[in-house]
Structure 1
Amino acid sequence: MDVVTAIKKIIAGYLENEALTDVMHATYTGTGLRLDDRPNEIPAEFVDIPLALQSAEATVSGEFTAEVSVDGGAATEKTVRLNQAKVTITRGLAAGDRVTVVRQRGGQRYSIIDRTGD
């Protein structure tokens, strides 16, 4: 084996072991991630979910004015009074959502970037 071939093998082995960061697509299962190219599920404890993809719930009280339309009819302005009403501000991930994922360089952690809409 010549020196150039030996160096190429060493570099290829290093890069394979280094496990550089990858961008992948996956399905959120509710208990983890199922990557498109892997048979095993990644457990939730190895997955970072951004706050924008987590549910945020709050209790709201107050008086609000809103335009209300029933069955596509004309909108009418209504005043709504809420007293300790529970609301969800953002929808978190649901089982079956398609997501784009980045794998941590050289590690076992995965970070969800966003929903893909597939």
Structure 2
Amino acid sequence: RVTVPWLATVYRLILLIPAVIPGPMIFLLWRWMYDFEVGPINVILVNYLHLFTFRTAPQWVGDSPLTLPAIAFMEWGWGLGYHTMFFLAGLAAIPRELFEAARVDGANEWQMVWKVTLPRLRPIML
């Protein structure tokens, strides 16, 4: 149930672009983003937000307790596009008539999510 179709298209593109980029390119992109000296994450944290100095800026990879969370975040962002494709396919497979019938029966949005959408997406979520 999309109310602004062009916004839904933009949202899909943003989420699906990482899914079609080859793995080595994703690795190189995040390696640059996590770079201690020139990575945009540290540049923002040091120069714009002033949360750290250049000496105390976090080292995201290497011998750091931040390495595992940094890699997990990278993998989560990369895999998000694949999961989005599955959920969008599942949502598209739910007949509109079910939502219309629920609306006629007096269901609000929250009830339609719990009683119509989630039960139909259960095979995808499991």
TM class, shorter-length: under 0.3
TM-score by length of 1: 0.22
Name whichever structure is richer in strand by fraction. Answer: 1
Name whichever structure is richer in helix by fraction. Answer: 2
Q: Larger radius of gyration, structure 1 or 2?
A: 1
TM-score by length of 2: 0.21
Higher RCO, 1 vs 2 (CA within 8 Å, ≥6 residues apart): 1
